[in-house]
Amino acid sequence: MIKRWKKKTRGKKLISLHHSNASVFLVLTITGLLLYLPALRPILLQVRVWVKDIHIYIGLLSIFILMLYMPLFTKHFQQLVKKKGPIVNLLFVLLTLVGLLMTGVILWLQRYFTSDLSSLSLILHDFLTWVLVPYAIYHSITRSKTIKKAERNPIKEPYVIDKTNPILGRRSFIRMLVGTGVTISIAPFFLKWFMETFTVKDLPTYGKKIAMENKMVPAPHPAPESLQPIGGGARGEFRPYTVTEVPTSSSDDWNFVIDGLVGKKLTYNWKQFLDIPRTVQVSDFHCVTGWSVESVTWEGILLKDFLNMAGVNNRAKFVKFYSGDGVYTDSLSLTESMMEDVMVAVLLDGKPITAEYGGPVRLVVPKMYAYKSVKWLNRIELIEEDHTGFWEQRGYDKNAWVNKTSM
């Protein structure tokens, strides 16, 4: 009697955990898609960080549910071990879910891991999502009460394949139909992600994607170190994100300004800007979403050189950066701006920076996440009070240091 009661109680717990995990996974799927789909980025600007936080908290809840399940796993496994289909389903879902949660934690705490591990985790997290989400949809539909009821009470119709058919039973037919529908729906998005993620690994990333071109004449002539390039070519994949339509520039009306609390205001047209002596550096580029591009060869003017040319007023404590899209801004402290590797870049791996990648001129702050590296840079202003940048106004951490030791 007691044994039967315990078995019944354990069964109720398993059902409760199963339903809870399904609900949690649904929220994770929805928030994950909201974060992933590029078309939704401009629409969700104001709430994107909230969506990300919800995704993280629900992921932590999923870990908690998994921990509650683990003491019941042995008994559950023993119940299913004689049934090949259910046991394969259990192990597949469990291993995939564990992989998703582990990579999700690494991405959440990426400051405490190497950039290689974060980048690999992002790829695995995406891949496991593309595997588990379609399977979960398929599983939910084929295991729904409606389908089960149809299987128990089949309506005999001449065009329906039923269990008497030795080639394909009713249940197999329904599952095949659902599986085909899910595959057709998901496949285009998966293929797009797969091509964008895995077709750039064997060759330098930059230059393979040529999108909107700027009309900047003449083109900047690369230095010998940049032309090689000395970094050997960027390794990894840039994933361009933007909060507006990508602006394009023309040398006919382009200008670059340094003003605010300076000794003298500096204004350059394109030809004058190209006459400024440039330097070449190799650095890694890190995005707060988890991906990194290593050994990027940048050519441009060090920010500290610009500031020295303009002269810094004693009241100046911060440097504000303006994007040519007319929307995006960010800032650094004066001390941060004087770091040796903060650059106003015009060339990437020996090529002019395209509009998609933030050209013709962009800021590069290697030791901080990329939301500090303002794209389409056309104005630098020295200010007395700190400025809260575009993404920081919407929830990003003011502390943008990549490495935890720099925090």
- The predicted-structure confidence for 212-266, as pLDDT tens digits, reads as follows 578 999 999 999 999 889 999 999 888 888 888 899 899 999 999 999 999 999 9
Domain match, 295 and 372 both: yes
- CATH number, domain with residue 190: 1.20.950
Parent domain of 293? 224-406
Domain match, 165 and 233 both: no
Over the stretch 94-112, which tens digit does the pLDDT of each residue have?
A: 899 999 999 999 999 988 8
What single-letter amino acid sits at 392?
E
Domain match, 134 and 181 both: yes
Can you give the pLDDT at residue 195?
54
Domain match, 157 and 295 both: no
What's the CA gap between 367 and 50, in Å, rounded? Answer: 25
Yes or no: say if 328 and 154 are a contact pair by the CB < 8 Å rule: no
Check residues 2 and 329 and name the one with the higher pLDDT: 329
32 within some domain: yes
- CATH number, domain with residue 344: 3.90.420.10
Q: Which residues pair with 382 in a beta bridge?
A: 260, 319
355, two tokens: 């509009």
216 within some domain: no
206 within some domain: no
How much is the mean pLDDT over the chain? 82
Number of residues written out for the chain: 407
The answer on pLDDT for 201 being more than 50 is no
What's the CA gap between 387 and 111, in Å, rounded? Answer: 24
Residue in the structure block whose two tokens are 């090949």: 84
Taking each helix axis as running N to C, give the angle between helix 48-80 and helix 2-36, from 0 to 180 degrees, rounded to the nearest 10. Answer: 150
What's the CA gap between 383 and 346, in Å, rounded? Answer: 25
Domain match, 170 and 261 both: no
The answer on pLDDT for 147 being more than 50 is no
Over the stretch 281-299, which tens digit does the pLDDT of each residue have?
A: 999 999 998 999 999 999 9
Over the stretch 387-400, which tens digit does the pLDDT of each residue have?
A: 999 999 998 998 99
Question: Which of 198, 214, 238 is where one domain is finished?
Answer: 198
Domain match, 56 and 142 both: yes
The answer on pLDDT for 358 being more than 90 is yes
Domain match, 325 and 381 both: yes
Domain match, 320 and 364 both: yes
Can you give the pLDDT at residue 207?
45
Exposed, middle or buried, 252 (CB in 10 Å: 0-12/13-18/19+)? exposed
Number of independent structural domains in the chain:
2
160 within some domain: yes
45 within some domain: yes
82, two tokens: 């004689």
Check residues 136 and 367 and name the one with the higher pLDDT: 367
Domain match, 290 and 164 both: no
Q: What value does the mean pLDDT take over residues 315-340?
A: 96
What's the CA gap between 116 and 101, in Å, rounded? Answer: 18
The answer on pLDDT for 8 being more than 70 is no
Domain match, 144 and 271 both: no
Can you give the pLDDT at residue 352?
95
The answer on pLDDT for 205 being more than 60 is no
What's the CA gap between 289 and 259, in Å, rounded? Answer: 33
363 within some domain: yes
Domain match, 191 and 72 both: yes
For residue 333, give the 3-state DSSP assignment: strand
97, two tokens: 């879910």
8 within some domain: yes
